[in-house]
Every structure is written in C-alpha cells, then in structure tokens.
Amino acid sequence: MNDYTKLHFETKAIHVGQEPDPATGAVVTPIYQVSTFLLPDPSEPGEYVYSRVANPTVVALERAVAALEGGQHGLAFGSGMAATTAAMSLAHAGDHVLITDNVYGGNFRLLHQYLNRYDVTHDFIDMNDPAAIVAAMRPNTRLLWIETPTNPLLKVIDIAQAAEIGHRHGAWVGVDNTFASPYFQNPLALGADITMHSCTKYLGGHSDLVAGMLVVNDKLYEPLFEARRITGGILGPFDAWLMLRGVKTLAVRMEAHQRNAFAVARFLEGHPRVAQVLYPGLESHPQYALAARQMRGFSGMVTFEIKGGHEAARKFVQALRLVTSAVSLGGVESLVEIPHDLTHQVMQGTTIAISPAMIRLSIGLEHADDLIADLGQALAAA
C-alpha cells in the first residue's frame, strides 16, 4: 500500500484505495458484486466474509473518502440518513443530543419522531452562540450534531469552538459536511469526532446514486462499525463503484460549482425582486469572516428570499426553464426547491420553521450566463 499522506487532494481522490486490482491489473476498481467469500480456514473469518460486513469495492471507497477528510476510517452506508442514524446510536436511552437549530428535515424527523421512542432527548439551539451551547449542555448530553453550512439557511458554525465546548462537557461532536464537501472543509482537523456526508450529493455528483459516509478516527471506529454490521446499513458495491467515479472529479466539480454560485449570488443580490441572499462567499453573509477562515471555499448552494411571499416563490419555480424543480442537490444539473413545502415541510408550525418565501438553489455546472438568464426571466414572471 502506497503512502499518500503528503499528496494533494486531487491526487488522493484518484489514487487512494484505488490501486490497480492485484488479481487482474484493472486500473479502475472492479465491482465486487458478490454476497459471500471463500474462507481459507473454515474456522476463521478471512479479510472478507459477507458483504453486509465488508466488500472490497466499498472498502476502496471508504479508504478514498477517509483520506480526503483526513481521517483514519470511512464507513459507507446506504444513505446519508442511515449514516446519521448510526452516528446518533452513540446516544443511548436516557442520553441527550444537541443539534443545530437550522437543520435538515430528515434529521428533525429522526430525533423528533424516532429516537424519542428510545428515550433519547434533544434540543435545537443556535450554535453560533457559544453561551447557548454551554447553557444547553446537560450531564447526559452525549452528542453535539452540527450542520455547517446549514440546510437551507447556510449558517456557518464555528466547528472548533463547538468541539471544544462539547469535549469539555464529555460529549462527542459530529459534523454534517455535505454542503461543503471534503474539498472545502475538513471537520476532523477542526476538532470534530465524526464527519458525515450524504454522498448522494457532491461526492457522488451525478444524481444517480444514494449513499452516506461517516469518517472517524480509531476511537469511534469499532462502535460505529458494529452499529452498521448489526443493523445492515452498508452501501452496495455498485453504488460504491459509481461513487468512486464521482470522487475522482470532486475537486474540479467543486471549483466549477463555486464559480457559478458566486455569479448567481451576486446577480440575485442586485435584483429588485430579491429580499435577501444567503451565500457564505458574499461579504453580506452573517458569518462571512468565519466561513473565510474555516473553509477553503464556499461551495455551490445559494438560498434567497423572494419578495411577495409563498405565492411569488411558487410562480418563480414554475417559470424556470433550465433549472429543474427537484429535491436533493450537488449534481451537475442546477436544481431548485422551496424547503418550506418539501425537505423541511415537517417543521412547519415549529419555532425553527423555514420561511415559505425562501428558495434553495443547488447551482450546477451549466454556463453561468445561461443560469442567470433563466433566473432573471423567472423573477420577472413571479
């Protein structure tokens, strides 16, 4: 096995875990579409036994993403929610979880409708306020769960600060790094214990797979590996192979996503029909200075609030011709959604509900001029 630790990100994305196949010399990692493996000693497990536990294609992917995140171990799952659920399993009955107040709707459901059945309590707090984190900590707080940038308001949370507070109070600290990708942000280097990705998004990058990943160091690997082994949430080999293909181009795609997002954000910021633009790369963003310090770039997500409320938001989305109305994000095509109606609908009526006039854009790899023209005509029609 080669030592890739001193290589650049782009090189790691292409080579780590993806050495030529020793059996055939294949340059691209093969799809090991197999459920079970020969046991050289019938009384002892070999390196691979059963693909619910480990699979060579999946392991190649785990090594690659762990290297990109600067972690020792990757654990691939069938979805981002499966990965998050495994991480949340660190909280046992009677434990408490603190989570970012602007949170993905799936995580809201996980805590509010599922884990509460098992006596795991939670609080949503403003993690931009260190005093609020300290005040919300309890003796039984087991886990701080951070999204940064958040979905969909793109709040940027100080990972190092939150990790210091969490560790001081004896809690693990996990970070959902989906929006930034490992190209722009590495939470483990900032003190986090767990990095999570919904790999369906930027890591896969082509809207053709659903996957999740946890990256951890030695201390948490065994309990999280056991959680996956027991519950059976491992990613399948074909989706792992697709994701390996996506990871190879992550660096060049993220640069292009960011370039287009900057152009779109600046256009929207100057448009009279737009009330507010949220993009961490704009100096108007509330945490711009933190984002510039903590991240190496600002990624491809842009959120804005349209004047005219919910009806104007609906008319805007319906008028778009190039940008596709769909959930998810991080693919090569630009997507748009109204979070209040879709991904965050479950939070309506709560104190952390999303404005019905808020629109989330996942900026793809089309030409920026074409995207701006489409957004402009839709704003005029709204």
Bridge partners, 198 (sequence order) = 212
Residue 305, sorted as left (phi over 0), alpha (psi -120 to 50) or beta, turns out to be: beta
Degrees to nearest 5, angle at CA 299 with 6 and 110: 100
Q: How far apart are the first and last CA of the chain?
A: 57
- Give the phi and the psi of residue 26 in degrees, each rounded to 5: -55, 130
Does 155 participate in catalysis according to the annotation?
no
Q: Active site residue: 201, 248, 253, 360, which one?
A: 201
- The Cα–Cα gap between 251 and 205 comes to 11
Nearest to 77 by CA among 239, 206, 207: 239
- 8 Å CB contact between 222 and 64: no
- Catalytic pick from 52, 245, 273, 307? 52
The rounded Cα 336 to chain-centroid distance in angstroms is: 17
Q: Which two tokens stand for residue 101?
A: 């107040």
Cβ neighbours of residue 237 closer than 8 Å, sequence gap 6 or more: 31, 32, 33, 34, 51, 55, 56, 57, 58
52 catalytic per annotation = yes
Give the separation between CA 299 and CA 311, rounded to whole angstroms: 29
Whether residue 219 lies in the annotated active site: no
108: closest CA among 191, 176, 173? Answer: 176
d(CA 107, CA 124): 11
Of the residues 101, 158, 176, 374, only one is catalytic, namely 176
- Active-site residue (options: 32, 104, 202, 279): 104
Tell me how far apart the alpha carbons of residues 268 and 303 are, in angstroms, rounded to a whole number: 10
Catalytic residues: 52, 104, 176, 201
